[in-house]
Every structure is written in C-alpha cells, then in structure tokens.
Structure 1
Amino acid sequence: MQAAGGMMRGFAVVAGIVLAGAWAMTGAVAQDGAARETAKDSAKGAPLKIELNRLEPAGEACRTYMLVDNGHGPALKSLKVDLFAFDTEGVAQKRLAVELGPVQEKKTVVRLFDFAGLSCPKIGRILLNDVLACEGGEASRETCLERIETATKTPAAFDR
C-alpha cells in the first residue's frame, strides 16, 4: 500500500514538472510570437500620417494644405508623392508631383502647394497615387507607401 502511495506521489511530481514545462514553453512561444510581431511592425515602420487639412482658393488655383505627421518614425530627407485630383463626378483632372519632405524625426509639418487651374469646390477627391521618392534611414519607396495612412478634414476625400 505504501509503495502504491509513493508511486502516486512520484507520478504527481513528474506530472507537475511536465505541466510546468508545458506552461513555460507556451509562454516562450507566446513571447517569440510577440517578438516576431514587433520585428514585423519595425520592418513596416511607424505610421506616416498624411492629412489633407485644407483647400482654399488662390487665384485660378486651389491651394492645398497637407499635414505630414512623422511623430513616431525616423527622419526623411525626401518624401515625394504623385497626386491626382478628381472632380466631384470622379473624373481625373490634374496630376501633380509634390515634395513633402524633409520631415524630421518625431515631427509634424504642413506643406502647401497649388493645383493650378482647378477651383477648390470642383475637387471631390485627391488620390495619393504613388510614392516617387522616399529617402532617410532605411526608407524606400515601397516601405514609405506601406507606412502612409491618409485622412482628410475637407469635403474632398483623400486616399491611397
């Protein structure tokens, strides 16, 4: 009887050790997965927020105010984007390449440019068609495009 009780206690100890090891492995796997997610997020980079903040008439043009929020990313020497302005019926009207850089690390800037020959009320949408140049740190056109998040405070849509 005593032998059976000793075996049961031994079995319980072994089972406890195995169970503790399994829990430790689960934690290690979860930490490893979290580390991979963090590395993936780092590779993608912190969001680069570009907001269509304001449209205002400027003679025969529409002056455009773009807010570039690089609050969590590395400095960019250059950020050149390809934009298309569409009218309120969705027809492409103007194409414009705009330099939004340089943008310092953890900084927000406002850049102004004009869509010549286009009145502001006729703009229904601005499309960030592509990133033409992105320089700074380990940035590339592709990684910058992946990082960009668009927003608008105007009646016109702004998207990518």
Structure 2
Amino acid sequence: MQATPWNLGPLARAAAACLAMALIPSAGALAQETAPSAAPKAAPIKLQLNRLEPAGESCRTYLLVDNSQGTALKSLKVDLFAFDQEGVAQKRIAVELGPLPDKKTSVKIFDFTGISCPKIGRVLLNDVLACEGGEASRETCLERTETETKTSVPLDR
C-alpha cells in the first residue's frame, strides 16, 4: 500500500500539515507586501560645482542650486570644506544658498579665501547647517541634497 495523506499515521499527518502551512503565506505577510511604501521621497536639491576661477589669492566658486522640483526654502545654509590635491582639508566655509524659490534654479557665488583654485582637489558638502521653509528640516534637506560637478574638482557629500 502506497502512503498518502489519508493513510499516514498521526505523527506523519501532523508533519505534513505543518509543512503545508509553512508553504502558504499568511494573510499578514500578503498585506505587508501589498501595503503602500513609506511617504514618497522629497524632491532633490541639486548642488553643482559649476565653475572655479581665480580671484586674487582666493578661488571664486560658482555653485548651481537646482530646486526646480521642490518647494520654496527661506534658508539653506551649508558647511563646505575645500581639500588640497593631497586630500588635506584647507578651508572651511559656511554658505547661505537661500532663499530658494520653488521650482527655480539659481547660481550662488562665493570665495574660498586664502586658497588658489589650482590647489583645490576636492570640495565636500560636510553638512547642512540650516534649512527652513515648508516641511523642511536640517536632516531632511541633507537627505535630499545631491551633488555633481562640471569642473575637474569633485563635489562630494
């Protein structure tokens, strides 16, 4: 006689039932898989190191601030570091990039004083010091910020 679920002993039937239950996804698991994901990701704030040019003993910096997909911000203050070609931090600067109108791109110009452009090997967005407007906070603005460069000097996060 061949073993089937109907003629198995009680222990074998219990094991078969456990195996069957393990293979059937629970309603909770199905609900979890079909539940909508967390809130949609906020529109990015894109910072592009667009140009570096000599300005006496300093390096004039053109930073493109793209808020073309986001809402207006009263303030966006960032902490930037300029590193030399060997990767050693040379200059730190806090730059106010706001106000940023909604759905607008703008250019902000500032100088890294006391360091010439050829000595800059990398610029680091170290932190967001302030971010005000709408639902914005310092932490959410840092998460939303993306960096890129048009120069030979990288702009990193």
Q: Normalised by the shorter chain, which TM-score bucket?
A: 0.7 to 0.9
2:147 counterpart of 1:111? no
1:133 to 122, 130, 147: 130
**By how many angstroms is 1:40 displaced?**
3.6
Query: In structure 1, what is the Cα distance between the partners aligned to 2:73 and 2:142?
Result: 13
The structure in which a higher percent of residues are helix is 1
2:57 counterpart of 1:60? yes
Query: In structure 2, what is the Cα distance between the partners aligned to 1:148 and 1:47?
Result: 6
Query: In structure 2, what is the Cα distance between the partners aligned to 1:136 and 1:66?
Result: 21
Q: Deviations over 1:133-157 (max 9, x none)?
A: 0001010000000000000011111
Q: Deviations over 1:90-122 (max 9, x none)?
A: 000000000011110000000000001110011
After the TM superposition, list the runs of 4 or more consecutive aligned residues in structure 1 that deviate by more than 6 angstroms: none
TM-score (norm 2): 0.77
Task: State the AA in 2 paired with 1:53.
Answer: N
Q: 3-state SS of the aligned residue for 2:140?
A: helix
Residue of structure 2 equivalent to 1:18: none
2:69 counterpart of 1:76? no
Superposed, which structure 2 residues align to 1:16-95 within 5 Å? 30=34, 32-33=35-36, 36-37=37-38, 39-41=39-41, 45-95=42-92
CA RMSD of superposed structures (Å):
1.5
Aligned residues: 127
1:156 to 135, 141, 153: 153
Residue of structure 2 equivalent to 1:9: none
**By how many angstroms is 1:47 displaced?**
0.7
Task: State the AA in 2 paired with 1:76.
Answer: L
Q: Structure 1 stretches of 5 or more lacking a match? A: 1-25
Task: State the AA in 2 paired with 1:145.
Answer: L
Query: In structure 1, what is the Cα distance between the partners aligned to 2:121 and 2:105?
Result: 25
Task: State the AA in 1 paired with 2:52.
Answer: L
Q: 3-state SS of the aligned residue for 2:142?
A: helix
Q: Structure 2 stretches of 5 or more lacking a match? A: 1-29
Query: In structure 2, what is the Cα distance between the partners aligned to 1:56 and 1:40?
Result: 39
- Give identity over the alignment, percent: 72
TM-score (norm 1): 0.76
Residue of structure 2 equivalent to 1:21: none
